[in-house]
Amino acid sequence: MGRIRQLDTQTANMIAAGEVVERPMGVVKELVENAIDAGSTRVDVVIEEGGITKLTVQDNGCGMDAEDAQLAFGRHATSKIRSENDLWSIHTLGFRGEALPSIASVSKLTLTTSDGKEATRVVVEYGKTVSAAPYPCSQGTSVTVEGLFYQTPARLKHMRSGAYEASLIQNVISSFALSHPEIAFSLVSDGRTSFQTSGQGDMLEVIWNVYGRAAAELAVPVDFSDYDYHVSGYLIKPSMTRASRSMMHVFLNGRMVRTYKLYKAIQDGYEDFIVKGRYPLCVLNIEMDPHLLDVNVHPSKWEVRLSKEMQLEYLIRDNVRNALKGNILAPKAEIREARKQIFEPISFDTDRLIEEAVRKEEQTKQKEAAPVVKEPEPVVIETPAKQMSFHEEIQEDEKILKELYSSAAEPAPVYDPPKKQAFPPMEVIGQLHKKFILCAVEDGLVIIDQHAAQERVHYEEYLNKLNKEPVMMDLLVPVTVHAGSDLVQRSEELNASISDLHITMEPFGRDTFVVRSVPSWMKDIEEEPFLQDVLDQFRNDRESKYTRMEKKTIATMACHHSIRFNRSLTMDEMKEVVRQLSLCENPYHCPHGRPTFITLEEKELTKEFLR
């Protein structure tokens, strides 16, 4: 008798559930995707104990009839594709037909749905259909999941606390709201509303709800495209950053994905404006022909494949950089209130206290002796403070958002070529502690970091010089680099890829390259480790262009040749630093992303002097 057997449907569904449904967040993601595909304009999510005990996803979409409601629990049963050709042109978020049967195999699931003509309720407990009968409900679909993973204790053991699972679900709902601002989302966790959007299609409103007001005020609208891709959304100015990529949202045809190469392209666009180790905030929706996007990679649908990914990376990197260059990015200093004294010293000047008490007593006697003429007191009618209704609060928020939206949208950024903001005219006042240059501007006081300013000036000087007139140096002793036979066989492709570096790698034996000349900017670095990095980047299909590879080296050169702290400057030298900085393409940040100057506004200074 053979040892190979066909698994039963329930076992197969439980195996699939291990990939599709890892935790309550995965359940919510799959159910909300189904709701969006159903054409819903409102999606409500209710969870208890982070969705471990119970969760409900309700929508007002097209719903299903009785036959489809039961067929939906069959493995690979879906209404979104018909044949294998549809896999190359997927226009919906779901298409595999695995979500409902996988979820039902590890929980107690109740489905209530109506297509406007007939309503049905289906109850499935851990893969077994308990009941399927007519049930009155409004049009749409409601799915309730209870006892998730109760029959798979190994998976249940690895669930975190309810609060942690609830935070993951809120992150997913926030991402859905950012990718579909035209849909109203709400999340209720343990009886409390945690997240809510109006569904009016205003992306800035959703950014306000997800990132906060400060981020919405710093949002820069972007809209750029090429022959294959159209990118739109908002970039948050680099004065606000995060310690992780969690606030970088990228959507492909409205689908939330984890695509680290596109994240890296965004970071490269921000590279000149933020310091190392910090990450930007952004929301970018990328539209493309579905034939360019392969979403049939993993059952969870977090991973995708792009056929022209490098082209998209360049498009995002260049246009993000151009958009940020077109905005005033000099940070403003925040003046905080001085700490108030929490106690007053006790005075033991008894003579002064006695004199004050006697004076007060005499004033009281004089008032009692004088005739008292009472003036009629004005009648004050106190009215209770009017409590704003829910609709009035929404209207007030809409008014603020419209003002914010108009301020963010005007003027619209120009991308080709980018519009360079005028450098503010500065009048040098003096030097502070041999470190900072003080300048008067129209709005207040500017404090310039003399070292960072010179770094930016020298960096752009070196970059322009090397790009226009690369100087090559012949090596007395050629450098050999071990690469492996696989790269030696691709030597022509390799040299074409690194042509902008002005380096030629000649095959030298079976697994080694030899380099006989290098650009002059490499004179201060070790050639072999640098060339090894070039080979590693080529092996990993990463960019090896001149402007990228030399950036770190030029930034280091600019740092070493710049004015140091604790150096006294004359008035003419300080004026020359300001003049050179004003001519830079990006005068607001040094090559490492630190600000070159900050502004203290006059109104803040006036406020501090109580005027």
Q: Quick one: pLDDT at residue 403?
A: 67
One-letter amino acid for residue 28 of the chain: V
Second CATH level (architecture) for the domain 473-545: 2-Layer Sandwich (3.30)
CA 372/CA 377 separation, integer angstroms: 14
> Which helix (H) or strand (E) is 535 found in, with range?
helix 527-539
pLDDT in tens, 534-544: 787 777 655 44
CA 377/CA 152 separation, integer angstroms: 77
Instruction: Write down the number of H helices and E strands in the chain.
Output: 20, 22
Q: Quick one: pLDDT at residue 421?
A: 65
Percentage of the residues of the chain whose pLDDT score is greater than 70: 72
Q: Quick one: pLDDT at residue 89?
A: 67
One-letter amino acid for residue 452 of the chain: A
Q: Quick one: pLDDT at residue 212?
A: 85
pLDDT in tens, 356-385: 666 776 776 665 555 544 445 554 444 444
Which residue is associated with the tokens 């119970």?
54
Higher pLDDT, 276 or 395: 276
pLDDT > 70? residue 268: yes
Q: Quick one: pLDDT at residue 411?
A: 52
pLDDT in tens, 507-517: 998 888 999 98
- With CA atoms as reference, report the closest residue to 456 among 358, 365, 563, 599: 563
Q: Quick one: pLDDT at residue 101?
A: 85
Q: Give CA separation, 63 vs 115, 134, 179, 563, in Å.
A: 4, 14, 22, 69
pLDDT in tens, 74-89: 777 776 666 666 666 6
Q: Quick one: pLDDT at residue 282?
A: 94
- With CA atoms as reference, report the closest residue to 255 among 301, 189, 306: 301
Map residue 365 onto helix, strand or coil: helix
Q: Give CA separation, 251 vs 258, 262, 302, in Å.
A: 9, 10, 11
Beta strands in 197-238 (DSSP E): 219-225, 229-236
Residues 577, 450 contacting (CB under 8 angstroms): yes
Q: Is the dihedral of CA 112, 113, 118, 124 positive or negative?
A: negative
Q: Quick one: pLDDT at residue 247?
A: 87
Q: Is the dihedral of CA 486, 491, 492, 495 positive or negative?
A: positive
Average pLDDT over residues 87-114: 81
Asked whether the bond before 411 is cis by omega within 30 degrees of 0, the reply is yes
Higher pLDDT, 503 or 316: 316
Task: Assess if CATH 3.30.1540.20 describes domain 427-459+560-608.
Answer: yes
Higher pLDDT, 167 or 16: 167
pLDDT in tens, 564-589: 667 888 888 899 888 888 888 888 88
Q: Quick one: pLDDT at residue 467?
A: 63
pLDDT > 70? residue 466: no
If pLDDT is split at 50, 70 and 90, which confidence band does 319 have?
very high
Higher pLDDT, 376 or 65: 65
- Please tell me the CATH code under which domain 9-196 is placed: 3.30.565.10
∠ Cα 406 410 416 (to 5°)? 140
Which range, of 144-148, 211-215, 219-223, 466-470, averages the lowest pLDDT? 466-470
Q: Quick one: pLDDT at residue 300?
A: 66
Residues 254, 303 contacting (CB under 8 angstroms): no
Report pTM: 0.66
Residues 310, 276 contacting (CB under 8 angstroms): no
Q: Quick one: pLDDT at residue 57?
A: 94
- With CA atoms as reference, report the closest residue to 328 among 218, 444, 464, 416: 218
Burial 305-319 (b: 16+ CB within 10 A, else e): ebeebeebbebbbbb
Where in the chain are the domains? 9-196, 213-325, 427-459+560-608, 473-545
3-state secondary structure 102-147: HHHCCCEEEEEEECCCCEEEEEEECCEEEEEEECCCCCEEEEEEEC
Which residue is associated with the tokens 């000036």?
457
Q: Residue 57 is encoded by which pair of tokens?
A: 């996803």
pLDDT > 90? residue 173: yes
Q: Quick one: pLDDT at residue 41?
A: 93
- With CA atoms as reference, report the closest residue to 426 among 283, 529, 578: 578
Which residue is associated with the tokens 């709800």?
209
- With CA atoms as reference, report the closest residue to 470 among 523, 504, 520: 520
Which range, of 145-149, 191-195, 248-252, 488-492, averages the lowest pLDDT? 488-492
Q: Quick one: pLDDT at residue 382?
A: 47
Q: Quick one: pLDDT at residue 567?
A: 81
User: For the chain, what is the mean pLDDT?
Assistant: 79
Kindly give, in sequence order, each residue whose CB lies less than 8 Å from that of residue 69, ignoring residues fewer than 6 positions away: 111, 113, 120, 122, 132
Map residue 349 onto helix, strand or coil: coil
CA 196/CA 217 separation, integer angstroms: 20
pLDDT > 50? residue 417: no
Higher pLDDT, 6 or 135: 135
pLDDT > 50? residue 109: yes
Other Cβ atoms less than 10 A from the Cβ of 466: the count is 20
Residues 196, 174 contacting (CB under 8 angstroms): no
pLDDT in tens, 476-505: 889 998 887 778 888 888 888 777 777 889
Average pLDDT over residues 435-458: 88
Q: Quick one: pLDDT at residue 379?
A: 47
If pLDDT is split at 50, 70 and 90, which confidence band does 144 have?
very high
pLDDT in tens, 387-404: 555 556 666 666 766 666
Percentage of the residues of the chain whose pLDDT score is greater than 90: 21
Q: Quick one: pLDDT at residue 385?
A: 47
Higher pLDDT, 102 or 97: 102
Q: Is the dihedral of CA 586, 591, 594, 600 positive or negative?
A: negative
pLDDT > 80? residue 219: yes
Map residue 599 onto helix, strand or coil: strand
Which residue is associated with the tokens 């409205």?
254
Top CATH class, 213-325: alpha beta
Q: Residue 32 is encoded by which pair of tokens?
A: 């909300």
Average pLDDT over residues 342-346: 48
If pLDDT is split at 50, 70 and 90, which confidence band does 111 have?
very high
- With CA atoms as reference, report the closest residue to 521 among 549, 563, 481, 482: 549
pLDDT > 60? residue 249: yes
